[in-house]
């Protein structure tokens, strides 16, 4: 496909049109969400941040904020909600216009401005979280000396008995996808594909590949021994060989000091449908095994922290070697459910 040195290709134009469409959609759906989980709120609380408003469990969260001295959240207090829809609309419109004008230099300006906008937006979001988490009312009903309540910019953080989980919502993923599309255009126009001897059609695989990585499910995390607590029995986790983890469909990771605790938690929480269950390998505690693939040995000789007395192995051979000459049985995950 021929294209002048001053114009982007038709493939690149098509990608810019798609980027504009995704940006336009992101205005009408939540961009970010902060999920709060605690024993007294088994279904969790969710703060949804749109381009022009706050949504979700705002009233309940404001009630909790009042007791710990945090400012209450109101849409009208944030100038960002006034200008953000126009900024996103502007980028969507420019992407669409430039897709038809096809001027390469104009696209480079658009891409640079879009990246700067993303950086400034995340810095502003962090500043907002910092102010709300640190500027506390000294006369609040509950004061914990030295404690701040700043949620994580992205990821998970423990705040008193609440677990705060902060990730992009649908609109945020659409925004990221738009950036990936623009980056793909940049790579195409910089002749990266030619230097790598790739065809443009192959280069377009960058898009689904990057999206796949950005949207991939959360994996088990390493436990901090003698620091992290079991999310069921609340005991400090001290033995890595018996650690188990439950991951919700939203990516929240629950840690347990014993497989038995994870089983109890899973049964007692009806909202745990669709979760992923993992258990540490007894021989290699840093390796996590899916419960459906692990081979278990169960018996008093195992002696796990909370009396589950079950250890996980990667293979039948490893389980048989461990259980030799011991009064324990080799079982699978289904056996343990009975």
Write out pLDDT tens, residues 100-144. Answer: 999 989 999 999 999 999 999 999 999 998 988 888 888 877 877
Q: What is the overall mean pLDDT for the chain?
A: 84
Alpha-carbon torsion, ordered 10, 12, 17, 19, to 10 deg: 170
Write out pLDDT tens, residues 293-329. Answer: 999 999 888 888 888 889 999 998 888 888 887 778 8
User: pTM of the entire structure?
Assistant: 0.64
Return the residue matching tokens 């990821």. Answer: 155
pLDDT on residue 2: 47
Query: At 247, which helix (H) or strand (E)?
Result: strand 244-247
Please list the residues that pair with 236 across neighbouring strands: 229
Of 113, 202, 85, which Cα lies nearest the Cα of 105? Answer: 113
Residue 273 has pLDDT above 80, yes or no: no
The Cα angle at residue 170 between residues 164 and 174, in degrees rounded to 5 = 125
pLDDT on residue 171: 93
pLDDT on residue 194: 55
Write out pLDDT tens, residues 200-214. Answer: 454 454 555 455 444
pLDDT on residue 125: 92
Model confidence at 33, pLDDT cuts 50, 70, 90, reads very high
Write out pLDDT tens, residues 140-188. Answer: 778 777 778 888 888 888 887 788 889 899 999 999 999 999 999 998 8
Query: At 42, which helix (H) or strand (E)?
Result: strand 41-49
Please list the residues that pair with 255 across neighbouring strands: 245
Q: What are the backbone dihedrals phi and psi of residue 215, each rounded to the nearest 5 degrees, phi first? A: -105, 5
């Amino acid at each position: 496909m021929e294209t002048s040195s001053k114009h982007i290709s038709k493939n690149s134009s098509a990608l810019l049109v798609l980027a504009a469409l995704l940006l336009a959609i992101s205005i009408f759906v939540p961009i970010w969400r902060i999920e709060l989980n605690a024993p007294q709120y088994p279904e969790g609380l969710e703060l949804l941040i749109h381009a022009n408003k706050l949504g979700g469990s705002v009233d309940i969260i404001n009630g909790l904020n009042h007791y710990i001295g945090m400012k209450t959240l109101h849409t009208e207090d944030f100038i960002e909600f006034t200008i953000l829809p126009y900024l996103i609309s502007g980028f969507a419109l420019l992407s669409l216009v430039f897709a038809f004008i096809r001027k390469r230099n104009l696209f480079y300006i658009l891409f640079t401005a879009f990246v700067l906008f993303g950086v400034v937006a995340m810095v502003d979001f962090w500043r907002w979280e910092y102010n709300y988490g640190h500027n506390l009312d000294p006369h609040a009903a509950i004061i914990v000396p030295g404690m701040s309540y700043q949620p994580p910019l992205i990821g998970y953080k423990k705040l008193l008995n609440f677990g705060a989980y902060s990730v992009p919502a649908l609109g945020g993923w659409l925004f990221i996808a738009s950036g990936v599309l623009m980056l793909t255009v940049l790579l195409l126009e910089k002749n990266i594909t030619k230097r790598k001897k790739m065809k443009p059609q192959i280069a377009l695989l960058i898009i689904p590949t990057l999206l796949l990585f950005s949207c991939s499910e959360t994996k088990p995390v390493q436990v901090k021994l003698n620091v992290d607590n079991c999310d069921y029995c609340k005991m400090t986790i001290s033995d890595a060989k018996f650690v188990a983890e439950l991951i919700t469909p939203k990516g929240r990771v629950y840690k347990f000091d014993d497989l038995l605790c994870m089983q109890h938690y899973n049964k007692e929480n009806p909202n745990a449908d669709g979760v992923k269950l993992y258990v540490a390998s007894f021989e290699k505690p840093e390796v996590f095994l899916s419960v459906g693939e692990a081979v278990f040995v169960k018996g008093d000789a195992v002696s796990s922290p909370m009396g589950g007395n079950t250890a996980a192995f990667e293979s039948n051979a490893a389980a048989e070697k461990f259980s030799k000459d011991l009064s324990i049985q080799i079982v699978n995950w289904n056996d343990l459910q009975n």
